[in-house]
Structure 1
Amino acid sequence: MFENYVEVWTSNNFQRYTINSIIISTITVLGVLLTSIPAAYSFARIEFPFKNLIFYLLLLSLMIPEIITLLPHLLIIRGEIIPLPFGPTWMNTLQGLTVPFMGNIFVIFLLRQYFKKIPNELWEAARLDGASHFYFLTRIVIPMSMPIIVTVGLFTFIIAWNSFAWPLLILTKEDWYPVTVSVYSFVREVGPNFHLLMAACLIAIAPILILYFFTQRLFIESISNFGIKE
């Protein structure tokens, strides 16, 4: 049985593509958290003009099917709409695979709802001690919100790991092929050898299962906290 996994792992550059997926997914998660946490905190705890209007407009964008956004994203990373840093085009690049997905409205929504549950008394006490919003966010809010942060990080990692259409659209070289594209190519190569296909699929989902195993406590805790009303 194990020879099937060995054959899959050593063929079709499966090792390199798996490493590519780990890199792509990890960078995407870090980018999403880096942009979403400050945005969610601003919508939850800072007053500024048209805050609710902007937030609801962002929520409305969730109604747009993802497939519709592929063409605008493609035109942007090809450099046809705005000038791009790090080169005239992001085709066949790591930034092309990650940057377009570092702004996630759904993650901002989940984090905002969680941040709003943090008692205002903590902010009042911190402000009396001279704390800024940055200090309050980094020293109090983020440590208290680790369950939801881990949860949205896990969701983002899974989405980035399972991404197929976007890499297939922007990659014409194999340098940054993710594991999903590798499995697709492998299916075309091995044909009806289902023992190899099942081995390839299991290897492809193994990192997700391992990640969930180590984060399930925080994942379950975040879901439980959402069900508790003050």
Structure 2
Amino acid sequence: MLSNKSPISKWTTTLLMGLLSFVFLMPLLWMLSAAAKYEKDVMVFPIQWIPVKWNLINNFREVWLGSVPFTLFYYNSFKLALTITLATLIFASMAAYAFAKLQFRGRNMAFATLLSLMIIPSESTLVPRYLLLTWLHLYNTHAGLMLMGMFSTTYFTFLLRQFMVSIHREFLEAAKIDGAGYVKIYIQIILPLSKPILATVAIMKFIWVWNDYQNPLIFLISERLYPIPLGLQLFKNEFADNYAVLMMASVAAILPLVIVFIILQKQVIKGISLGGVKG
């Protein structure tokens, strides 16, 4: 058995971890600092971590009320991310429930086939997806991106299925004795017990969709449909030398990701600490 660490060792470990965290946070801190400065002060060396002259309001106004419609990009990103994330949670959890708790012929073969799809890189399906969306008249529409995103659930189905397998079957048997059907068991038992992994899936999918650059670049043409990643590219073209405005736009772009993590982190940490419900 390993002995408990001494207080000095604990303090040393905490200090080292704090220093390491600060190193990883330095780019973010620099971005926050640059977003509040005048353009001429951004590249001053040594770095002025706390701006001598603040230009926060003007940079904020340039981002949200300037010539580039950042508000529209924000709306597009929220529209895509929330819709695709919600659809992923529904479809992936239903499929995972079927693979984990329902008995039907060919279940294992179907799950193995599903897992085999994970080895196919998304880049190899760009041309078939383009042809499909063109045939469906969904090219250059948000509906086309949503259609692709909400059914790209193989990885999340696997995660949810692995969690649901560990849920005690006695819960389901007791519900069946009380007259509950498959749908009621799914809604009232499976989903509440799966909150930690559902929160993890929600965070991951939301971040993936919010940061997705490839699919909007290929399947969208109209600038009015652009999400944040493509919108930032327009900002880069418009404010090529104004790093203060670019950093303000970058801060605005990552802010929803931070908020989503803060809201759902309790469930994620709970899932990690419990390690699942052992069956």
TM-score by length of structure 2 reads 0.76
Is this contact kept in 2: 1:114–1:226, CA < 8 A?
Answer: no
Query: Once the 2 structures are TM-superposed, how far is the Cα of residue 229 of structure 1 from its aligned partner?
Result: 5.5
Residue identity over aligned pairs, in percent, reads: 35
Q: Give me the whole-angstrom Cα distance separating, in 1, the residues matched to 2:93 and 2:76.
A: 26
Ranges in structure 1 where 5+ consecutive residues have no aligned partner: none
Deviations 1:162-197 (A, max 9, x none): 111111111111232101100011112211221122
Asked if 1:106 is matched to 2:155, the reply is yes
Q: Which residue, out of 123, 139, 142, partners 1:91?
A: 139
Which residue of structure 2 aligns with residue 15 of structure 1? 71
Correspondence for 1:193: 242
**Does residue 1:70 correspond to 2:126, yes or no?**
yes
> In the TM superposition, what is the alpha-carbon distance from 1:5 to its structure 2 partner?
2.3
Q: Equivalent residue for 1:219?
A: 268
Say if 2:136 is the partner of 1:61. no
Please give the alpha-carbon distance, in whole angstroms, between the structure 1 residues aligned to 2:215 and 2:262: 28
Letter in 1 for 2:150: M
Residue segments in structure 2 that go unaligned for 5+ positions in a row: 1-35, 37-55
Q: Which amino acid aligns with 1:21?
A: S
Give, in whole Å, the separation in 1 of the partners of 2:243 and 2:127: 35
Structure 1, residues 4-44: CA drift from partner, whole Å, max 9, x if none? 12211222000111011001100101111121111000000
Checking the alignment, whether the CA contact within 8 Å between 2:168 and 2:277 is kept in structure 1 is no
**Superposed CA offset, 1:101-122 (max 9, x none):** 1121011011111111110111
The residue number in structure 2 matching 1:36 is 92
Q: Which amino acid aligns with 1:105?
A: T
Whole-Å separation in 1 of the counterparts to 2:248 and 2:187:
43
Residue 139 of structure 1 and its aligned partner are, at CA, apart by 0.8
Structure 1 match to 2:59: 4
- Aligned partner of 1:208: which letter? L
Q: Distance in 1 between matches of 2:127 and 2:241?
A: 34
Q: Assess if the C-alpha contact under 8 Å between 1:8 and 1:14 holds in 2.
A: yes
> Is the 1:43–1:55 Cα contact (8 Å) retained in structure 2?
yes
Aligned residues: 222
CA deviations 1:94-153 (Å, max 9, x no partner) are: 211111111210110111111111101111111111111111110111111111112101
Out of 159, 162, 165, the position equivalent to 2:211 is 162
Q: Give the corresponding residue for 2:12.
A: none
Q: Is the 8 A contact 1:31 1:99 kept in 2?
A: no
CA distance in 1, matches of 2:275, 2:144: 34
Kindly name which structure, 1 or 2, has the bigger radius of gyration based on alpha carbons: 2
For residues 167-186 of structure 1, what are the structure 2 equivalents within 5 Å? 167-186=216-235
How much has 1:199 moved relative to structure 2? Answer: 1.2
Paired residues of 2:168 and 2:278 also in contact (CA < 8 A): no
Q: Structure 1 residue 207: deviation in Å?
A: 0.6
Note the aligned Cα RMSD (angstroms): 1.5
Amino acid at match of 2:101: R
Q: CA deviation at 1:56?
A: 1.3
